[in-house]
């Protein structure tokens, strides 16, 4: 397989560092990509605590040094990769605050290389200096690799040509998660429901998996559970995660008289998968990100708020009435209505489970990402199908 000219390209993917959660898509590119991909970045996470990929195949990872004065990452190796002859294509992490990324993009284009930026793109409409600065940065690239279709729509409104913008979505380790899902039994689901909520196993369960932080707004979920209890449609709430809000949320649940199971921090994929499978619905009252993918791969629809300017790009996998839905931001009554819609009708729940898995299979998986990245690297037009 090759590009439009019949040539397999040598591609440098340049990041600050390579987080472990991205291993599936990177290894898809290495093992099944149309082109030869190498990965250039630092071998440490600058004190962030993020787990890095440590098992790149020989010759596929090249360490380049980096310095981070304030928000500005300096990576001279990125510029050297742009100037040198080893690569004919650069894929740069598209952060406009990194001076050497500007220089690498300019140098790469002057050297006749194809330069792509892997970026969230525009999360919301921007104005004034911020808009001009970001747009100028993106125009340095031959093309953009975007996480969601809304970013592409905003880019078109800013004058970018559609063929320069490739929506490649996002994903987790779908293959491993599918294997876990296939091994979870109905008996294990029943056991979890019984142990978490003894005596009310038949009550619908809503789950949320997140750090317990104020911006996650889990107090709204507990308030919505209280509203549903008053309406005569009680739910049980299961929360996986820990953080500074836990004591306050536990006290709120007691005061409201709603059943909330705090599971603490959970890292075991099988345990998390069983929680998703046990739940009728996943809810995130605050901004949502990869939790969408995590829930949908196990067949559990997702509800979050409808202010897309304050959402992560992954919200697009939530298709109203199909894979979940949205509620009016910060409205507990609206959240209660959205939960009721997905927990009171068995036919809606059954369809939601099937559609949730389907959208992951079509768009939000490493194999699809690899195909879309290969297409962009080759210079072929973007796919037109949208999630």
Which residue range(s) make up the domain with 39?
A: 10-171+365-378
244-297: per-residue pLDDT in tens? 999 999 999 999 999 999 999 999 999 999 999 999 999 999 999 999 999 999
* The two structure tokens encoding residue 208: 């949320």
352 occurs within a structural domain: yes
Q: 5 in a domain, yes or no? A: no
Q: Are residues 82 and 186 in the same domain?
A: no
Asked if residue 4 belongs to a domain, the reply is no
- Look at residue 181 in the predicted model and tell me its pLDDT: 96
Q: Which two tokens stand for residue 73?
A: 């990452």
Cα–Cα distance for residue pair 201/188, rounded to 1 Å: 13
pLDDT at 78 over 50: yes
What is the percent of the chain where pLDDT is above 70?
Answer: 97
pLDDT in tens, 124-167: 999 999 999 999 999 999 999 999 999 999 999 999 999 999 99
Q: Are 116 and 144 in contact (CB under 8 A)?
A: yes
- Quick one: pLDDT band at residue 1, thresholds 50, 70, 90? very low
- Residues 12/25, Cβ–Cβ less than 8 Å: no
Assess whether 163 and 21 both reside in one domain: yes
Q: Are residues 326 and 357 in the same domain?
A: yes
**Is the domain of 371 the same as that of 349?**
no
**Token match 């998660």: residue?**
177
pLDDT higher than threshold 50 for residue 193:
yes
Q: What percent of the chain has pLDDT over 90?
A: 93
* 256 in any annotated domain: yes
Residues 68, 85, single domain; the answer is yes
Average pLDDT score over the chain: 96
What tens digit of pLDDT does each residue of 31-50 get? 999 999 999 999 999 988 99
Does pLDDT of 298 surpass 70?
A: yes
Residues 319 and 214 both lie in one domain: yes
The pLDDT of 61-86, averaged and rounded, is 96
Burial of 146 (0-12, 13-18, 19+ CB in 10 A): buried
Closest C-alpha among 123, 173, 122 to residue 19: 173
Residue 201 has pLDDT above 90, yes or no: no
Does 4 score more than 80 pLDDT? no
Task: Summarize the confidence of residues 286-311 as an average pLDDT.
Answer: 97
What is the 8-class DSSP label of residue 231? Answer: T
Total structural domains in the chain? 2
Q: Tokens 């004919």 — which residue?
A: 88
The confidence band for 338, taking pLDDT boundaries of 50, 70 and 90, is very high
If asked whether residues 43 and 132 sit together in one domain, one would say: yes
Q: Is the pLDDT of residue 326 over 90?
A: yes
Does this model's pTM top 0.75? My answer is yes
| Domain match, 64 and 199 both | no
Find the helix or strand (DSSP H, E) in which 284 lies: strand 281-284
Question: Is 385 a member of any domain?
Answer: no
pLDDT in tens, 362-387: 999 999 999 999 999 999 999 766 66
Same domain as 99, residue 197: no
Do 167 and 181 sit in the same domain of this protein? no
Same domain for 24 and 105? yes
Structural domain contains residue 132: yes
Question: Which domain CATH number covers 38?
Answer: 3.40.50.2000
Q: In the prediction, which pLDDT does 346 show? A: 84
Confidence of residue 349 (pLDDT cuts 50, 70, 90): confident
- Residue 114: which H helix or E strand, with range? strand 114-119
In this structure, the chain runs to a length of: 387
Domain contains 356: yes
Residue with tokens 């809810």: 283
Contact 198, 259 (CB under 8 A): no
Does 113 fall in a domain? yes
Q: Are residues 229 and 339 in the same domain?
A: yes
């Amino acid at each position: 397989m090759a590009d439009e000219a019949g040539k397999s390209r040598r591609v440098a993917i340049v990041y600050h560092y390579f987080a472990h959660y991205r291993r599936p898509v990177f290894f898809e590119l290495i093992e099944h990509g149309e082109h030869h991909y190498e990965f250039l970045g630092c071998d440490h996470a600058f004190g962030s605590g993020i787990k890095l990929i440590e098992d790149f195949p020989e010759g596929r990872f090249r360490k380049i040094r980096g310095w981070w004065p304030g928000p500005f990452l300096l990576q001279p190796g990125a510029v050297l990769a742009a100037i040198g002859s080893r690569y004919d294509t650069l894929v740069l992490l598209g952060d406009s605050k990194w001076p050497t990324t500007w220089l690498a993009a300019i140098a790469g284009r002057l050297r006749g290389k194809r330069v792509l930026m892997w970026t969230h793109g525009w999360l919301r409409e921007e104005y004034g200096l911020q808009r001009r600065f970001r747009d100028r940065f993106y125009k340095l690239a031959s093309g953009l690799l975007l996480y969601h279709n809304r970013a592409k729509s905003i880019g078109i409104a800013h004058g970018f040509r559609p063929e320069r913008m490739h929506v490649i979505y996002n994903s987790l380790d779908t293959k491993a998660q599918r294997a876990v899902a296939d091994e979870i039994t109905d008996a294990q689901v029943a056991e979890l429901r019984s142990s978490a909520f003894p005596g009310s196993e038949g009550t619908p369960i809503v789950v949320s998996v997140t750090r317990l932080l104020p911006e996650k707004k889990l107090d709204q979920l507990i308030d919505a559970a209280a509203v549903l209890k008053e309406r005569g449609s009680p739910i049980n709430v299961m929360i996986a995660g820990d953080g500074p809000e836990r004591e306050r949320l536990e006290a709120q649940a007691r005061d409201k008289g709603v059943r909330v199971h705090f599971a603490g921090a959970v890292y075991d994929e099988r345990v998390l998968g069983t929680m998703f499978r046990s739940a009728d619905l996943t809810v995130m009252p605050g901004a949502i990100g990869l939790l969408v993918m995590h829930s949908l791969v196990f067949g559990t629809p997702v509800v979050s708020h409808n202010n897309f300017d304050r959402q992560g790009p992954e919200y697009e996998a939530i298709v109203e009435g199909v894979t979940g839905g949205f509620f009016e931001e910060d409205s507990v009554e609206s959240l209660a209505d959205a939960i009721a819609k997905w927990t009171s009708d068995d036919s809606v729940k059954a369809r939601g489970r099937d559609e949730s898995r389907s959208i992951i299979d079509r768009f939000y998986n490493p194999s699809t990402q690899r195909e879309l990245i290969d297409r962009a690297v080759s210079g072929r037009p973007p796919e037109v199908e949208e999630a």
